[in-house]
Amino acid sequence: MRKLPILVIIDDMRDTLPMKPVLWIGSSKKDLRDMPEEVRSEFGHSLREIQKGKDPGNTKPLRHLGVSGVSEIVVDERQGTFRTVYTVEFKDVIAVLHVFQKKSKSGIATPKKEIDLILQRLKQARIDYQELKRKK
């Protein structure tokens, strides 16, 4: 009797986990829709990876905000630099706080106006998340 080779496929278990839904805060979803197509596409891909618990490779934590769990996706295109700020603070959702094009030409720092808006929306995300949990 002839033995056949055994093929073992090891699947990435994170692909079998359900994707976390996205909680859009403020005008973040509308702002994303207003971005150029290639930017929307890359942000969309990155957000899907984050929803699956994976690192898309184009994120970095925003430690200078003084809160944990807030990161940004950075996309550089010919039209400029675009950012999506999100938090993984919540157990079962990804909250997108802000989507914007960085217009400042001086350095890589996030402008204060944008930081203030991100922190305001983080507070709103906490409220929205608690309301969402109460409804379940």
pTM score of the predicted model = 0.83
Q: Which residues contact 91 (CB under 8 A, 6 or more apart)?
A: none
- Domain ranges, ordered by start, for the chain: 19-135
Correct CATH for 19-135 of 2.60.40.10, 3.40.190.10, 3.30.2310.20, 3.40.50.300 = 3.30.2310.20
Q: Over the stretch 81-114, which tens digit does the pLDDT of each residue have? A: 999 999 999 989 999 999 999 876 566 677 888 9
Q: Over the stretch 5-27, which tens digit does the pLDDT of each residue have? A: 555 555 555 455 678 999 999 99
Q: 3-state DSSP helix/strand/coil percent for the chain, to nearest 5?
A: 40, 25, 40
Write the single-letter amino acid at 97.
Answer: L
